[in-house]
Every structure is written in C-alpha cells, then in structure tokens.
Structure 1
Amino acid sequence: MSGLSETERAGCTKLLQSLSKDDVFSLSDTVTNKLIVVENVTEAIGAIITFTKNAEEFLKRKKVHRDLIFKYLANEGVVMPPNSEKNKLVKRTLELWSSGKAGVDQSLPGETDDTKQGLTSDTDIVKAEVGFDPLVLGQQFCQWFFPLLNSQNPSLAQLPQDWGPKHFWPDAKLCLLSRAGSEQMEDFLGAELVSLRLLALTRDEQLLLSPNLEPQGLRTLASPHGLVLVAVAGTIHRDGACLGVFEQIFGLIRSPLENNSWKIKFVNLKIRGQDSLGGAETAAPALTCNSTELQLLYS
C-alpha cells in the first residue's frame, strides 16, 4: 500500500502527468520491479502511487528531474531561486505537502468563514464575503491570478486554465513599464486588450511570474469607496533562468451584478531585467512602493 497522504498523492500525480509517456512507464517498472503489468498511462501512474513508500523517495527518483519540480513549485505559487539544487527543491516540496496547502487545500492559516475568499464556480472570478480582510483577499487573489496566468505558458506543458476578459472590468487599464536594456512604456485600455497583453507575456513570450507572498513582497490597502489595492513583487523566469523582477499593483472592485465577485479595474506592472538590477538579490524581491504611494492611486 502507498505510504502517501492525500495531498502527497495529488502532488505526485500532478508531477507524473508532466512526464512523457515513456518516462511514466519506465518509472512504473522501476517502482513495481516489473511485477505489475500496466496498459496505459493512467494505470502506470496508479501503480507508481500505490507502490511508492513515501514522498521523499518519489521526489528523489531520477525521472522526477529538477526542472520538473521547479515548475511544479512555481505553479503552486512557491518562490524558489532558479539555480536551486534538486535536494532543496525536494525539501521545499515536502514542506508544501506537509502543510496541506498544495492541490487539495488552498486555505490560509487563521482564515475564518467571514474572511475566506474563493472562486465562483461558473466564472472563476475571485469573490469575497462581507467583512473580508484585505490582506487575506490579496493573498487569495495572488494564489488565484498567477497560477491562472502561468498556466497559459506552453513550456509548463499543462492544460491552460480559463483566462479571458471576463476577469476584468470593461474599462480596465494596464500600464506596463519594462526596463531591460532600454525603458519602454505601454498603455492598454479595455478588458479585451488588457487581457490579451497579459496573456502574451506567458503564452507568447513564455515568461513565468513567481510572486513573493511573504510580508515584504505583498501589501494591500482598501479605500472607503470599495477599491482594494493589491501590490506584489516577484521574479520572472523563462526555461529555469531568472530574467529579472517585477512589481505589480492591481485595483480590484466588486461587481454587484456578478454575485459580488472581485474584478480587476486596473493593473500597473513594472518589469526590471537583470541588467538593471546591479547585482541585487532577486530570490525574494521586496516591494519598493509604500502605503502612501498606494493611496495616491485612489484618485
């Protein structure tokens, strides 16, 4: 029998689904010592899960290579330095699974019924109940938004989630400032254009945005008029290489016509390439904006 918890089984399954068919069959033969005959990938994954003694043994298998674990963690919203060795990635994955927050349960410690946010079943737009905590909303929003956007990246080899203009207000705005060699400013107006430009970052440019949800990387602010600002810093990757850092500020407003779901009113995204960082640490970047600067966005 498998020695894996429910969370570990779900995580191992997700990793196995990213492997090639040949690698899955090969790993099944290794784990079962070729005593179990499987006819398809689903049976092979089931055999691997059943006969795996523990999660650490699974993660240390040669077929479960470093890049696979790195991409898995990034998709779960876990920030890791791009040059992390496999043993560090394995340790962090085990910590994630033991916390119970991966795959099966995305709730946050200390979250109550009054502050819990989720996704609407029909539109996947973040929603909140009366009496919400802005910080909890910000954490939940980032745990929803970045995996959703990153899933559009073809290098992750996963099924893209339901991205589109429905997550934005019709008059949404995007201000994109990039500093990679030269400085470039782009402005977009309207849900369709904003949605398409953000989509291009991951689908076409194959970037992976990894947010830092620790206190120094996430800040929220709520105005008395219903606008909630979520500011987050993070790193940008492509094919395992760290290209730079980003700071992103979202303006969120409830939609009373859509069951009080939160929709994105504006996005300010600032990207800095490695050449503009001057050797600064990028593993867990901190926000440079403060609460006073955020308040200026209310007007």
Structure 2
Amino acid sequence: MSGLSETERAGCRMILKLLSNIDLLSLSDTVTNKMIVVENVAEATETILSFSKNAEELLRRKKVQRELIFKYLAKEGVAMPPNSEKHQLVKRTLALWSSGKATDAESRQEETDGTKGRRATETASDIQVSKVDVGFDPQVLGQQFCQWFFQLLNSQNPSLGQQPQDWGPQHFWPDVKLRLLSRAGSEQMDEFLGAELVSLRLLALPRAERLLLCPNLEPHGLRTLASPHGLVLVAVAGTIHRDAACLGIFELIFGLIRSPLENNTWKIKFVNLKIRGQDAVEGSEVAAPALSYNSSELQLLYS
C-alpha cells in the first residue's frame, strides 16, 4: 500500500511525466525490484506511485533528477535559486505538498483541455500582437510588444482574479538567456538559459512573488533600436507593485528576432532585467521611472 497522500500522488505524477519513457520504466523496475512487469508508461507511473514507501523516498531516487524537481516547483510558482541542491528542492517540495497549496494535476489538465480551443482563438487576436505588421517602425513595435508582454505576464498574478493568458516557452528562442540583477538591500545576479527555465523564472514573478510590473511607455521610459542584422532591442522602465504597495522600479531590455519558420513572429532572444527596491531609489524616480541606458549603451548589446 502506497504511503503517499493524494496531494503527494498528484505532485509525484506531474514530476514523473517529466521523465523520459526509458527512465520511467527503469525507475519502475527499481522501485519493484523487477518483480512487476509493466506494459506501458501509464502502468509504470501507477506502479511507482503504489510501491513507493513515501514521497521523500521517491523524490530522492536517482532517476528523479534535481532539474525535474526544480521545473516542477517553478510551474507551481515556487521560486528557488537555480543553484539549489537536490535535498533543498526535495525539502521545499514536501513542504509545498504538506501545506495543501499545490495545484491539483487532474484539475489543471481538465482546465487545459477544456479551454484549449478557446485559448487558440485568443492567441490569434491577443498574443499575435507580438508579430503585428507595423511597417517596421521600431518604436511602434516596442510599444506594441510591451503592451502585449506585460499584459500577458501580469495576467498570471492570482491577486488580479483574471484568467491567465497563454504564457509559456513558445514565446522565446530555445537558447534564450535571462540575466536578472536585483538590488534590494544587497545585490544579487542570477542567469537562466533556455526557453523553459527563462519562461518559468519570469512566470514566478507574478505567480509566486505576486508582483505586478507596470511599464512606462512614455518616450523617457521606452527606447528601441534595430540592428542591420535583424535584432531589435526594446528597453523599458517601470514600477513594481504588490497589491497597493509600490516596491521599487525595474529596467528591462528585450532582444527580439523574427522567426521565419513561425510566420515571422517576433520571439525573445534575451532578457536583461534589473530590479531596484524602493530603498535604493529616489522618490521622484518611482513616480515616473526613466531609462538609465542611453543609445550607445544599448548598441553594445548587439555584439
């Protein structure tokens, strides 16, 4: 009899879905000491869940790599440092499950299946703003891109009570890079590479940290540059809020490149995000934050 609670079973099932078929079948053999032969991955998953003594034992299995647990936590809105060791991720996952705040996997799947067709229609009108034909005026592109991006990102914040829009790695190039610099008391720099990790880390801002990013789309808060090679830089400043409190300001630089294989949709190649807490800025800056980057500094990013 499995020692997993229903919440733990749902969470473990989501993590097991991240394993390759080969690793999943191998893990089933390990858990059962090859005493049970399974016919497919569905049987392997249920066998692993049924014969695991407890959730911690399953999470500590070699096949359940730290990267898989990290991805699961990020999808649940739990932001963890990218250099976290596996035992730290296991401990945080068990705490999440015991708190009862984990998303139910079956309910999430039902919601996904039930809204897939509707969201496909939404993406045609809302998300495709990122590839609007603007006669290629970089400034117009920058304004429309920022309106689309921040509406999409902020919709993930549960405190707004909105239906989250279709956020995900599909909006990024596979080798996208995120550089996150935060100055709130102390300075911290983190880097993330790859569409899934970058997407998940940015998602954690509104979902886990309950932040709202409000861009300043006036001329002193938004600047765009286009290189001769197709890269467009969009730099924008804005304020960061949680509920009614203004926590500080941000400066965000996007590198955008068209994807010829996806109807020339603009996709994100890199993201540089700098966050300053309110104790690190002047009050006048918070009211209407302006970019600290000039055109010459932005052009250095072309190289």
TM-score (norm 2): 0.58
Distance of aligned partners of 1:192 and 1:215 in 2 relative to their CA distance in 1, 3 Å threshold: same
CA distance in 2 between counterparts of 1:215 and 1:280 reads 17
**1:214 match:** 218
1:121 to 115, 120, 124: 124
> Which amino acid is 2:234 matched to?
V
Q: Which amino acid aligns with 1:171?
A: D
AA aligned opposite 1:296: L
CA distance in 2, matches of 1:208, 1:172: 23
The sequence identity of aligned pairs, in percent, is: 81
Structure 1 residue matching 2:220: 3-state secondary structure: helix
In the TM superposition, residue 123 of structure 1 has moved relative to its aligned partner by 9.0
Structure 2 residue identity aligned to 1:274: Q
Return the offset for 1:121.
1.4
Distance 1:162 1:294 in 2: 30
Residues 1:132 and 2:114 aligned together: no
Q: Which one of the candidate residues 203, 208, 212 is aligned to 1:204?
A: 208
Query: Structure 2: how far apart are the matches of 1:212 and 1:123?
Result: 20
Structure with higher Rg: it is: 2
- 8 Å CA contact retained: 1:168, 1:265: yes
SS of the residue aligned with 2:135? coil
Question: Does the 8 Å contact 1:128/1:260 carry over to 2?
Answer: no
1:253 to 254, 257, 265: 257
Runs of 4 or more consecutive aligned structure 1 residues displaced over 2 Å after TM superposition: 122-125, 128-131, 278-281
Aligned AA (1:187): E
Which has more helix, going by share of residues?
2
Unmatched 5+ stretches in structure 1: 1-118
Aligned partner of 1:154 in structure 2 is: 158
1:19 corresponds in structure 2 to none
Q: Kindly indicate whether residue 285 of structure 2 is the aligned counterpart of residue 281 of structure 1.
A: yes
1:235 to 223, 239, 255: 239
Per the TM alignment, residue 201 of structure 1 is displaced from its structure 2 partner at its CA by 0.3
Per-residue deviation, residues 48-85 of structure 1 (Å, max 9, x unmatched) = xxxxxxxxxxxxxxxxxxxxxxxxxxxxxxxxxxxxxx
Q: Which amino acid aligns with 2:156?
A: Q
Matched to 2:224, the amino acid is T
CA positional deviation for 1:128 = 3.7
Opposite residue 235 of structure 2, the aligned amino acid is A
Give the alignment of 1:22-33 within 5 angstroms. Answer: none
In 2: Cα distance, 1:254 partner to 1:208 partner? 27
The AA in structure 2 aligned to 1:189 is L
Work out whether residues 134 and 141 of structure 2, in 8 Å CA contact, stay in contact via their aligned partners in 1.
Answer: no
2:84 match:
none
Preserved CA contact (<8 Å) 1:120 1:261:
no
CA distance in structure 1 between the aligned counterparts of 2:273 and 2:149, rounded to whole angstroms: 14
Give the secondary-structure state (helix, strand or coil) at the position aligned to 2:149: helix
Tell me, yes or no, if the aligned pair for 2:134 and 2:140 is still in contact at 8 Å. no
Are the aligned partners of 1:172 and 1:194 in contact in 2 as well (CA < 8 Å)?
yes
SS in structure 2 at match of 1:216: coil
3-state SS of 1:161 partner:
coil
CA shift for structure 1 position 284: 1.2
Unaligned runs of 5+ in 2: 1-121
Alignment of 1:169-188 (within 5 A): 169-188=173-192
Superposed displacement of residue 130, structure 1: 7.5
Q: Quick one: structure 1 residues 186 and 121, their matched pair in 2 at CA, closer, same or farther if it must change by over 3 Å?
A: same
Deviations 1:109-163 (A, max 9, x none): xxxxxxxxxx961892411437310000000001100010000000001100000
8 Å CA contact 1:127–1:261 kept in 2: the answer is yes
2:198 and 2:213 mapped to 1: Cα distance?
Answer: 17
Count residues with an aligned counterpart. Answer: 181
Q: Structure 1 length as normaliser, TM-score?
A: 0.59
- Counterpart contact for 1:120–1:127, Cα < 8 Å: no
**Secondary structure of residue in 1 paired with 2:162:** coil
